């Protein structure tokens, strides 16, 4: 037997069970040993019947008072009842439809029972269908595995025990002994034994530590290598002189330290031997545009062109206005290129880009797909990164002669996580807001307050400000929702009949959407009723109020993004969350929203409440699936393994040394498995 032996050859498995194991992703004996329990039953901590907590899993050691008796109940079901005692209390047991119970539980013998203690209607303590095993001298922690309907956790446990007998043939530790000593890790075989059948919690922890370390270590080895490969591109657009200071002087405000730091990091990249691949991450309103502008300016002064891409035409136009204003006092030439640019004008613009007259082109990602030829494209910026896929990132790199790339994202991710998710990018973080921002006040109310909300909106509109109302869905006939369209028709013909009201939803065509957004930006629409399509990037500083209906339908990060549409101007802004059916977790989200406007704090909370899989949506980032490590809670091991991976790759970048051969195999294996 070796690590590649098919699971069906393991004693007690065979082809039928092997098929079930395959469903769980287990095909070899090695995979079985790495199929970790999803949880444990602690049979080692025994409580007395008297002290057993109610409604929580616990373990009781007790003697059976009498052979279980059979009772027939309605519907042809059979119950078996008995009682057990541990000398200090009596516990009733009830089992359903299991005719073997009287044979399995013998009078006067001692067993361990694992389950929840409840109070029966007559006030007696009881357990319903507890798990049980015969009591032994040393009782232990038992594994619980993910099971299928035909393969129980108990069967898996037996198979694992069988495989562990052959562990010396199956497992070779990929990590050298000195390495284990250096990072205080236990040998892999011990770790596997401990994680399946721990003698106690301390041993379990030691085993888990090693296995979590391994997973994070191989993951990061792979990511660091990927990043190095991406960064291998030679820098053909070296920034010889840094003109950012010259530009910064022209700004009407003082940059935050975070903005200065990010600019420096990027300039250093662009002056180095390798081209830049950097993520600029900052909460809504943290001032990413100014960072990009300083870099674009310095690139232009070094006689190279830049392209800035936004996910929609509306955002492109918005950026065009902003940059025109920012570069007013300079000689930089800016062009806007979108789907609605007229053919003749388009030709002229393309000509100017080609002959190098233009310093900066702003547009949707059509710029990279279309036949736009640059004279000397040195720098590409993409805004609101989560709308651009990884593939587009690659196209970008290939456009022109590997220009420097800056990806700007408003999705705040804790830094450690960003290191992993954007493993192929370097990361700068704007973790500081410009001074003097007025915080947006956030309130949570129920639907009874609608009349007051409408009056509040009117007050805003009357004073010249604008407002949003966000509804979750458009006409899907869900009874508990107020579909945006109907809502729009109702409000615009009644309460707000004297005002200019607009509607924006996801089923509108791109051009229609853009037209509505443009009217809103120009204050031709005062109140915009919308679905979540306004979530990204829209900057209308005159909008100072956002009302979010059915707020329980939105996730925390989404609520935060929506709220980010206001609080961008000089007026004090307000966000009102309306919900009539908020459960416990929705309330928790509202509490967080009302208590903080810090996007990083909110992202942290969101991660805690939802887990990273949900947080990033499926497959978006293409990370390998993790079996035991958590990107959230294993922070210390994340950093330790990161350092270990970096140190090893510094010493042996291709993992070619004999003692690193098995490590390389693990890394490759991890990156060929299906991703989350
Ligand atoms: P985002 O990071 O969301 O893209 P923007 O770049 O649109 O944010 O900046 C939001 C607003 O803050 C803009 O009006 C911008 O001019 C302003 N701003 C940027 N940096 C500063 C600063 N250091 N001090 C004051 N205002 C700033
Ligand atoms: Mg922005």
In tens, the pLDDT along 231-262 reads 667 888 999 999 999 999 999 899 999 999 99
Same domain, 71 and 33: no
Residue 616 has pLDDT above 50, yes or no: no
CATH number of the domain residue 113 falls in: 2.40.50.140
CA-291 nearest atom, ligand 1: 6
pLDDT, greater one: 624 or 611: 624
Q: Is 255 in the pocket of ligand 1 (CB under 6 A)?
A: yes
- Is the residue at 517 inside a domain? yes
Pocket test for ligand 1, best of 290, 385, 438 (most atoms within 8 A of CB): 290
Residue 129 has pLDDT above 70, yes or no: yes
Q: Which residue has the tokens 């950093």?
A: 639
Same domain, 15 and 63: no
Same domain, 454 and 560: yes
pLDDT digits (tens, 9 = 90+) for 286-329: 899 999 999 999 999 999 999 998 877 778 888 898 899 899 98
Q: Is 248 in the pocket of ligand 1 (CB under 6 A)?
A: no
pTM: 0.62
Same domain, 537 and 487: yes
- Is the residue at 484 inside a domain? yes
Structural domain total, the chain: 3
From 596, 617, 648, give the residue that closes a domain.
596
Q: Which residue has the tokens 């790495």?
A: 34
CA dihedral 645, 651, 653, 655 (to 10 degrees): -80
Same domain, 55 and 30: no
Q: Is 537 in the pocket of ligand 1 (CB under 6 A)?
A: no
**Does residue 107 contact residue 122 with C-beta atoms inside 8 Å?**
no
Q: What is the pLDDT of residue 517?
A: 83
* pLDDT class of 390 with cuts at 50, 70, 90: very low
Same domain, 28 and 54: no
pLDDT digits (tens, 9 = 90+) for 627-640: 888 776 787 898 89
Q: What is the pLDDT of residue 414?
A: 63
Q: What is the pLDDT of residue 63?
A: 95
**Does residue 362 contact residue 294 with C-beta atoms inside 8 Å?**
no
Q: What is the pLDDT of residue 369?
A: 66
Q: What is the pLDDT of residue 138?
A: 66
Same domain, 3 and 128: no
- Is the residue at 548 inside a domain? yes
Q: What is the pLDDT of residue 285?
A: 80
Same domain, 457 and 534: yes
| Averaged confidence pLDDT in the chain | 86
Q: What whole-number distance in Å separates Cα of residue 592 and Cα of residue 574? A: 15
Q: What is the pLDDT of residue 137?
A: 65
pLDDT, greater one: 627 or 524: 524
Q: What is the pLDDT of residue 494?
A: 93
pLDDT digits (tens, 9 = 90+) for 593-609: 999 988 878 877 877 77
Give residue 488 CA to ligand 2 midpoint distance, Å.
28
% pLDDT > 90, the chain: 51
pLDDT digits (tens, 9 = 90+) for 16-62: 999 999 999 999 999 999 999 998 988 888 899 988 888 888 999 99
With CA atoms as reference, report the closest residue to 483 among 530, 445, 428, 449.
530
pLDDT, greater one: 436 or 378: 378
CA-541 nearest atom, ligand 1: 14
Residue 227 φ then ψ, to 5°: -65, -40
From 570, 596, 622, give the residue that closes a domain.
596
For helices 188-196 and 153-164, give the axis angle rounded to 10 degrees. 150
Q: Going by CA atoms, what residue is nearest to atom 5 of ligand 1?
A: 287
Half-sphere exposure of 387 (CA within 13 A, CB side): 16
% pLDDT > 70, the chain: 88
- Is the residue at 359 inside a domain? no
Q: Is 286 in the pocket of ligand 1 (CB under 6 A)?
A: yes
Same domain, 65 and 164: no
Q: What is the pLDDT of residue 236?
A: 86
The closest ligand to the CA of 288 turns out to be: 1
- Is the residue at 623 inside a domain? no
- Is the residue at 131 inside a domain? yes
Q: What is the pLDDT of residue 394?
A: 57
Mean pLDDT computed over 134-150: 83
- Is the residue at 85 inside a domain? yes
Q: Is 284 in the pocket of ligand 1 (CB under 6 A)?
A: yes
Domain encompassing residue 104: 44-138
At 529, is the secondary structure helix, strand, or coil? strand
The closest ligand to the CA of 260 turns out to be: 1
- Is the residue at 667 inside a domain? no
Same domain, 553 and 592: yes
Same domain, 66 and 122: yes
Same domain, 505 and 548: yes
The closest ligand to the CA of 291 turns out to be: 1
């Amino acid at each position: 037997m070796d690590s590649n032996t098919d699971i069906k050859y393991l004693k007690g498995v065979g082809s039928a069970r092997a098929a079930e194991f395959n469903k769980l992703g287990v095909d070899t004996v090695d995979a079985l040993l790495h199929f970790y329990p999803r949880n444990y039953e602690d049979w080692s901590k025994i409580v007395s019947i008297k002290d057993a907590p109610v409604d929580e899993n616990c373990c009781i050691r007790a003697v059976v008072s009498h052979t279980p008796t059979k009772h027939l109940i309605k519907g042809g079901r059979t119950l078996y009842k008995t009682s057990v005692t541990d000398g200090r209390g009596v516990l009733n047991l009830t089992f359903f439809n299991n005719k073997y119970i009287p044979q399995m539980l013998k009078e006067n013998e001692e067993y361990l029972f694992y389950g929840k203690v409840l109070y029966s209607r007559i006030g007696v303590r009881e357990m319903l269908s507890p798990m049980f095993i015969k009591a032994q001298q040393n009782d232990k922690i038992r594994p619980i595995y993910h099971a299928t309907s035909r393969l129980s956790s108990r069967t898996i446990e037996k198979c694992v025990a069988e495989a562990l007998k052959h562990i010396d043939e199956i497992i070779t530790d990929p990590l050298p002994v000195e390495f284990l000593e250096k990072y205080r890790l236990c040998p892999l075989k011990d770790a596997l034994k401990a994680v399946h059948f721990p003698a106690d919690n301390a041993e379990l922890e030691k085993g888990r530590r090693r296995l979590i370390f391994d997973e994070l270590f191989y993951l990061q080895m792979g990511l660091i290598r990927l990043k190095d490969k991406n960064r291998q591109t030679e820098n053909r657009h070296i920034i010889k002189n840094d003109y950012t200071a010259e530009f910064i002087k022209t700004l009407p405000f003082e940059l935050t330290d975070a903005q200065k730091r990010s600019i420096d990091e990027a300039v250093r990249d662009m002056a180095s031997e390798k081209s830049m691949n950097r993520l600029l991450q900052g909460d809504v309103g943290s001032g990413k545009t100014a960072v990009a502008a300083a870099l674009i300016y310095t690139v232009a002064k070094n006689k190279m062109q830049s392209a800035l891409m936004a996910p929609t035409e509306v955002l492109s136009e918005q950026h065009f206005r902003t940059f025109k204003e920012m570069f007013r006092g300079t000689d930089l030439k800016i062009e806007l290129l979108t789907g609605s640019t007229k053919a003749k004008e388009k030709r002229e613009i393309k000509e100017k880009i080609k002959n190098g007259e233009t310093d900066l082109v702003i547009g949707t990602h059509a710029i990279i797909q279309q036949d736009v030829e640059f004279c000397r494209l040195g720098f590409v910026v993409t805004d609101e990164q989560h709308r651009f896929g990884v593939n587009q990132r690659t196209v970008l790199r290939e456009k022109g002669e590997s220009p420097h790339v800056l990806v700007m994202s408003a999705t705040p991710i804790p830094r450690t996580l960003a290191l992993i998710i954007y493993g192929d990018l370097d990361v700068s973080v704007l973790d500081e807001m410009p001074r003097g921002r007025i915080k947006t006040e956030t309130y949570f109310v129920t639907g009874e307050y609608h009349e007051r909300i409408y009056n509040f909106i009117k007050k805003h509109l009357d004073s010249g400000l604008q407002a949003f109302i966000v509804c979750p869905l458009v006409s899907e006939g869900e009874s508990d929702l107020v579909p945006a369209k109907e809502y729009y028709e109702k409000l615009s013909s009644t309460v707000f009949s004297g005002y200019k009201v607009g509607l924006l939803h996801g089923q509108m065509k791109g051009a229609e959407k853009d037209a509505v957004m443009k009217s809103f930006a120009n204050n031709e629409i005062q109140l915009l009723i919308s679905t979540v399509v306004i979530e990204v990037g829209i900057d209308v500083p005159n909008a100072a109020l956002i009302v979010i209906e059915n707020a329980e339908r939105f996730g925390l990060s989404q609520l935060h993004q929506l709220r980010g549409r206001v609080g961008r101007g000089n007026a004090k802004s307000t966000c009102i969350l309306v919900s009539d059916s908020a459960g416990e977790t929705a309330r928790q989200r509202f509490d967080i929203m009302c208590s903080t406007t810090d996007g990083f704090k909110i992202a942290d909370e969101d991660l805690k409440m939802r887990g990273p899989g949900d947080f990033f949506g499926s497959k978006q980032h293409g990370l390998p699936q993790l079996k035991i490590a958590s990107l959230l809670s294993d922070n210390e091991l994340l950093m330790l393994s990161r350092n270990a991976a970096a140190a090893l790759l510094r010493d042996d970048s291709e993992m070619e040394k004999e003692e690193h051969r098995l490590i390389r195999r693990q890394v490759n294996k991890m990156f060929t498995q299906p991703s989350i």
